[in-house]
Chains A and B, each alone.
Chain A
Amino acid sequence: MTLRVSISTRLGSYGTFAAISAVGIALLFALVFIQGGYLLTVMQLAMIYGVFCVGLNFFMGYTGQASFGQNAFAAIGGYGTAILCVQFGWEPVAALVASMAIASVASLVVGYPTLRLRGHYLAMATFALGLITYDLSVQWTSLTQGYMGYAGIPPLGIGRFVVEDERLKLVCLMAILLFSLWLSGRLRNSRFGRALRAISTSEAGAAALGIRISQYKLAAFVIAAVYASAAGSLFAHTVGFISPEVFGLQMVVVTFTMLYVGGVGTVLGPAIGAIIASLLPEIVRGAGRFQDIAYALALLVLLIYLPKGLSTLADLGKRRPAEQGGGN
């Protein structure tokens, strides 16, 4: 928690909000750890999606671009890990890092031509990339085993130390998410992060200030891809099984929901969104066969009344002049 607080003091205007949400999240985790069982799995997945969204936030939030195809890189991570561990008997950590390297190369190759596009055209091109990856993961059975997927992926661990306890898994995932959040917070306010945010405000203005737009966009895209790959690998190690559905269109919708419910472009937003959007189906589960309707309605209400995400709740208690110096 000290990590969280140090981020919040640095961000100033988000201080109170971050403190409140930190307390809320701490209580939630306390409940989850005592309760155990299914809630542990839900929170594990929330942490993994959180890592994915923190990465996506670099590209969509800070840089203001659109990518509907990050699931492609999560698939690279998941399948990379699965194939390296199951077929070649690699160490989980080595497989995770190797997959991240593959994803970064893939995103460089794919991003270089694609990122010349703007707005909806970029969104569509990345969307096509995601769909192509999904279809390939279904059809290229010699590599991916098609709908069968890969089972028996070993849990995360180094050498003889293997994380098999569900509670310990959650702690590790939490640590990884906090680390990625810390990285995101540091980068956001660095020279690099300021350049990205300048691009999101005005490309022409940023170019006039000497920022190499295409290089920075590509860098943000690669960072997002590496985060996505890490999330894909973590999913494989945590659940122990992957199939094409894991990295399908559903993943795009879910992660977008998380990003926009939490607050796109903020540091903590993606993580908060991941936790809330993961818990939402569990909360509305009581509605029985109206569950999906309740979920859609809840999402619509959130979007209509807090279109810039839950993180903007912080602005409600903020004094007007403070907005000038606000982080956003």
Chain B
Amino acid sequence: MPSSVELIQSLVNGVGIGLVYGLIAIGFCVIYNASGIVNFAQGVFVMLGGMFAYSFLVQIKLPLAVAAAISIALVAAIGVLVQILVIRPMWQRKAPMFAIILATLAVQLLIEQIIILTFGDQPRTYPEFTGGGPLKIGDIAIDYQLFWILSCGALMVGLLTLFFNKTRIGRALRACSQNREAAALLGIPVGGMLMLSFALSAALGAVAGILITPTQYTSYSVGGPFGVNGFIAAIIGGFGSAPAALAGGILLGVVQSAAIVLFGAGYKNVIALTVLLIVLLFFPRGLFGGLAKRA
């Protein structure tokens, strides 16, 4: 039986990785709500965010804020490009939904291969945003980066909530998610909204990638696991609001970290996925969707 220190330490680590899953999950939700498409290339945006940030920070030696801003803008542009070149033509030809999902998988393969050819296949990382650390509370160590992830996560959720509730464009996006045809009749450019949702969710993925890379590493292949975990988090959260997706991510991260301590690293996915199955069976519309309906 692991000690309580180990358990609490794993909890802290779990919250950190879970917040990142949450940010990716929000990215899934933004596109899904605007279009019904599950973008499996979401994890690639995380990888691209880390990769670009590495290039600007370490190779070109730009200051952190500038490097992050340029990386996010670039990844958002790639998101728009994916929408224009792949999603829109399929959308217009009324392709079956799962064919579009398959196409996003092909996009992931394509981008990963381009990254291997341009950046190489070596894993890379850069230092944490604030040096020193980790913060010690008793025997528990907390990386300073965790506070960056926490505060940026809170900031993103706050901004998104404001965006979706207070701005005209945000409300238009929500209108699209409720009823695309009615939204179109009200004069909302639905196609443009779809493009915007890809830009937004790519940017969210990039933020997640820039935040998480210092605590581990990034390489061309990290997109897949991040995408899968982010999607699981979105399902647990119920594809509803940004805070629900974030909560789903934290829950998943904590369960995974606890599973590593209790059962060993090999079974972390088995445990996490079993939790997902249980959640799905008892709350078929996600943990928070189900709870909201009962309340």
Contact = CB atoms under 8 A, between A and B. Distances in A.
Interface in A291-309: 292-293, 295-297, 299-300, 303-305, 307-308
B44 to A, nearest CB: 12
Given A125-B280, A128-B276, A307-B90, A295 B109 contact: yes
Contacts of A257: 102
Contact of B235 (A121, A129, A131): A121
A305 B109 CA distance: 19
A124 B86 CA distance: 23
Contact of B270 (A116, A123, A136): A136
A308 B277 contact: no
Nearest 4 pairs of A and B residues by beta carbon: A307-B95, A296-B110, A128-B273, A296-B109
B155 interface: no
A160 interface: no
Interface of A: 60, 66, 113-114, 116-118, 120-121, 123-125, 128-129, 131-132, 135-136, 138-139, 249, 253, 256-257, 260, 264, 289-290, 292-293, 295-297, 299-300, 303-305, 307-308
B284 interface: yes
14 contacts: A114-B280, A114-B281, A120-B32, A123-B38, A124-B235, A124-B276, A125-B281, A138-B266, A264-B99, A292-B109, A303-B102, A304-B93, A307-B90, A308-B95
Contacts of A117: 280-281, 284
A297 B274 contact: no
A116 B274 CA distance: 17
Interface in B118-164: none
Contacts of B266: 135, 138-139
Interface of B: 32, 38, 86, 89-90, 93-96, 98-100, 102-103, 105-107, 109-110, 113-114, 117, 224, 228, 231-232, 235, 239, 266-267, 269-270, 273-274, 276-277, 280-281, 284-286
Contact of B102 (A121, A129, A260): A260
A290 B107 CA distance: 15
A66 B98 contact: yes
Contacts of A118: 284
Given A125-B280, A260-B98, A293-B110, A135 B117 contact: no
Nearest to B286: A121
Nearest to A116: B284
B270 A300 contact: no
A304 to B, nearest CB: 5
Contacts of A136: 270
Contacts of A128: 232, 273-274, 276-277, 280
A257 B101 CA distance: 11
A256 B98 CA distance: 9
A138 B232 CA distance: 21
B263 to A, nearest CB: 10
B96 A300 contact: no
Instruction: Find the residue from B86, B96, B231 having the highest chain A CB count within 10 A.
Output: B96
Given A136-B270, A300-B103, A307-B93, 5 more contacts: A66-B98, A114-B280, A297-B110, A303-B99, A307-B94
